[in-house]
Amino acid sequence: MSNEKAEVLETTSVEDIKNEILSDFQLVCRSREVSLLGRKEVLTGKAKFGIFGDGKELAQIAMAKQFRNGDFRSGYYRDQTFMMAIGSLTVKEYFAALYAHTDVEKEPASGGRQMGGHYATRNLNEDGTWKNLMEQKNSSADISPTAGQMPRLLGLAQASKVYRNNSDLADWTNFTNGGNEVAFGTIGDASTSEGLFWETINAAGVLQVPMVMSVWDDGWGISVPKKYQTTKGNISDALAGFAKDEDSNGYKIFKVKGWDYPSLIKTYEDAVEYTRENHVPSLIHVEEVTQPQGHSTSGSHERYKTPEQLEWAKEYDCVNQFKKWIANHKFPDGSTIATLEELEETHKAIKKEVRAEQKAAWAEFTKDLKDDFNRVMPLMEQIADGSKNKVFIEKAVADFKATLDPIRKDMFSAAKKVLRLTRGEDFPAKTALQNLLAQLQEEMYDKYSSYLYSESAMSPVKIDEVAPSYDDEELVDGRIILRENFKHIFENRPEVLSFGEDTGKIGGVNQSMEGMQEQFGELRVSDTGIREATIVGQGIGMALRGLRPIAEIQYLDYLLYCLQIMSDDLATIQYRTKGGQKAPLIIRTRGHRLEGVWHAGSPMGGIINLVKGIHVCVPRNMTKAAGFYNTLLEGDDPALVIECLNGYRSKEKMPTNLGEFKTPLGIPEVVEEGEDVTIVSYGSTFNLCVQAAKELREVGISVELIDVQTLIPFDINHSIVESLKKTNRVLFVDEDVEGGATGYMMQQVLQKQGGYYYLDSAPKTLTSKDHRPAYGSDGDYFSKPNVEDIFDAVYEIMHEFSPEDFPY
């Protein structure tokens, strides 16, 4: 027992203990009533969907007692009692989320963007700067995908290890107290079947990070019992081989019943104290929790549980058992806590309190809607008075007024129907309604579409280009430029660290971090296991705690292993918290041409459509790549940088302003000016376009070469269309499949930028074949675009334009 805990016990009176127990009972009742009333609100149509934390209340109170300022939670959608217990969720806020109230003052977790039951604390100030995370209890933002919270949990825990052992971060006191913070994870027992759970558990056991993992075990995964979910039908038994002993790494594993209040309190005290002091993970298997209302509002558990199972769950419901324990408990002095009658009265009073808070939340939610309705309704009525279609407009207005609990969708639908009925008519009320709808549409952008990317002054899109400078014409391998630039970064930014498969000891498979582990230590440049999802998870968690990780995925093809976490978690963090959290992780990988089925993929169309919210940088050489790292580390958004796999040994000039030159995001570069055809490309394929352009010049064709540099963001100043105004012809080239990133680029340029209006020839794309690239040099040549293909595609465009000048 720690001295601090002993001192607390010595000064705690029996009366204080009684009051704490009664306070816990009140919270258990409050959370339970929230669940019960929340289900009713969904079933009566006021809310869309409900998933609740009933049955887990007691265990979560025990966990919350050990949760300190600076600690982090990475949990799932049944942790409402825990969030209430740490002071990060009120009853009114709970219902505001259930109704999807878009005001972050009313619904601070997501501003109505996430369904109820998904929690988060606001860790950023309004200007996007960090709050002092040591002055609050922190919860990373939940996501629905089962076990999706696990990878980031690993990084949240690892951050404490970094802060404890990196003396250069000793003064980062807004983020840490000497690395003593614990990361708390929660998961439902059935979700432990997911690979992400096992990958994270294994990695945390290897890394020995301060993580306390709670498994809420009610015996079911919706309708599927756990005998079909878990080997031995018991997750702690299945994990027995992970148990730590004196001579090995691993976990301290605890078991406890979810209805046993004193055992829960003791178990969480022991587990968290052990983890906090020793920086070793613990796992608490909380068995015999119940789920009184079933999985969610989408179904009833009476369909698949036997009457005996339902009766057992009613008896061993934690509220019922806690009530009995309180009524029967006696202290050594013979005093009691409360009678059953007193507890029933307390529960009744709390039920009224919860109902009052729910009504207040509904009133605030509907007032927000009514304010908008009251702006639109008078104009629709005025339009009816002045239109020849008065009867039809009055019906549309009446239908809207008759709608039960109308929402903005109903308002916009009615208003646009009114405007359609006045086609060809012109009077002030119609113009006023059109203007008002345009204004409201802008307001809806803030409510529903803002913060996909950083909107702070630190956004990397706002960072200007700084060109590399050179003293001489010395040529070096591209990898040397990356290595020396990384060294400069690590020397000047103690918060930066890098990790991945083979990143540490050998400095990466292409040696672009050669010698850096020896110089900066294993804490900052480290090897990992073959586990891409949790490599990204490490990065997300550490970035959420103020560090600047660079997570390396060895090859672009391997990104598929972590794409779900990138898409569901990393890409949505700022969006799903409406600017309340950020994780400026940089994911570094390499791809494109390597002449192999499994190491030469370029699935860019899939990537860019799945990771909106993450910048995607596609540099054509290592100087450009280094410039991206310099830019991104000054910004506060996540990004993916895809280095050219065949560029590490290509010769480039060595810049003198290492760590300072910056490649801008969203700014294409016109590498070569021309008059006849615009070629738009990126990465390794762009370098082939350069070779093809030389050969095209020999036959009298002048090509304008444009390197887009980033696919997300894409040409933010619409500069590519300026090239089309000159050449009137365009070819988009990459090594993705048909309809992939070339289709995306074409849509951006022809539709979004209006490039279609300047074309004299049909736009064309040139891509790889739809199959994986075949192995070997010939396989690569006939699978992906080559110099000859690019030449032929451009020549065909010019032949169509002028067969006499460009004959076959």
Q: Are strands 710-712 and 615-617 parallel, antiparallel or unpaired?
A: antiparallel
Q: Which CATH superfamily is domain 3-121+134-338 in?
A: Thiamin diphosphate (ThDP)-binding fold, Pyr/PP domains (3.40.50.970)
Q: Is the pLDDT of residue 601 over 80?
A: no
Residue 599 banded pLDDT, cuts 50, 70, 90: confident
Work out the number of other CB atoms within 10 angstroms of the CB of residue 803.
10
CATH topology of domain 460-653: Rossmann fold (3.40.50)
Under 8 Å between Cβ of 41 and 358: yes
Query: Which pLDDT belongs to residue 679?
Result: 98
Which of 565-579, 595-609, 683-697, 704-718 is the least confident region?
A: 595-609
From the list 599, 615, 718, 799, the catalytic residue is 599
As a whole number, the mean pLDDT across the chain is 95
Average pLDDT over residues 489-512: 96
Which residues, listed in sequence order, are joined to residue 278 by a DSSP beta bridge? Answer: none
**Residue 599 annotated in active site:** yes
Under 8 Å between Cβ of 83 and 139: yes
**What is the rounded CA–CA span in Å between residue 18 and residue 5?**
18
Kindly state the percentage of the chain with pLDDT values over 90. 88
Average pLDDT over residues 200-210: 97
Q: What angle do CA 767, 771, 775 make, to 5 degrees?
A: 100
Work out the number of other CB atoms within 10 angstroms of the CB of residue 788.
12
Q: What is the pLDDT of residues 683-700, one digit of tens each?
A: 999 999 999 999 999 999
Average pLDDT over residues 394-400: 94
Residue at 161: amino acid letter: K
**Helix (DSSP H) and strand (DSSP E) numbers for the chain:** 27, 22
Radius of gyration in angstroms for the set of CA atoms belonging to the chain, rounded to a whole number: 30
Which residues, listed in sequence order, are joined to residue 731 by a DSSP beta bridge? Answer: 679, 764
What is the crossing angle of helices 428-448 and 408-421, to 10°? 150
Average pLDDT over residues 365-391: 93
Q: What is the pLDDT of residues 619-675, one digit of tens each?
A: 999 999 999 999 999 999 999 999 998 899 999 999 999 999 999 999 999 999 999
Query: Which pLDDT belongs to residue 439?
Result: 96
For 388, the token pair is 């020849």
Q: What is the pLDDT of residues 70-118, one digit of tens each?
A: 999 999 999 999 999 999 999 999 999 999 999 999 999 999 999 999 9
For 722, the token pair is 């300026």
Q: What is the pLDDT of residues 19-56, one digit of tens each?
A: 999 999 999 999 999 999 999 999 998 999 888 999 99
Residues 6+ positions from 330 with CB-CB distance below 8 Å: 336
**What is the rounded CA–CA span in Å between residue 721 and residue 322?**
69
**What is the rounded CA–CA span in Å between residue 715 and residue 807?**
35
Query: Which pLDDT belongs to residue 1?
Result: 46
**What is the rounded CA–CA span in Å between residue 421 and residue 305?**
54
Q: What is the pLDDT of residues 348-358, one digit of tens each?
A: 999 999 999 99
Please return the burial class of 103, using the count of CB atoms within 10 Å of its CB with bins 0-12, 13-18 and 19+. Answer: middle
The backbone torsions φ and ψ at residue 220, rounded to the nearest 5 degrees and listed phi first, read -140, 155
Average pLDDT over residues 389-404: 94
Half-sphere exposure of 719 (CA within 13 A, CB side): 16
Cα 272 to Cα 67, 84, 183, 213, 795, distances in angstroms: 9, 20, 10, 10, 69
Domain 460-653 shares a fold with domain 669-801? yes
Cα 631 to Cα 241, 358, 556, 638, distances in angstroms: 45, 47, 21, 12
Cis-peptide, bond into residue 785, ω within 30° of zero: no
CA nearest neighbour of 437 among 386, 392, 379: 379
H-helix or E-strand spanning residue 651: strand 651-653
Q: Are strands 220-221 and 475-477 parallel, antiparallel or unpaired?
A: unpaired
Query: Which pLDDT belongs to residue 286?
Result: 97
What dotted CATH number matches 669-801?
3.40.50.920
Domain boundaries, the chain: 3-121+134-338, 379-448, 460-653, 669-801
* Torsion region of 20: left, alpha or beta (phi above 0 gives left; psi -120 to 50 gives alpha): alpha
Three-state DSSP state, 340: helix
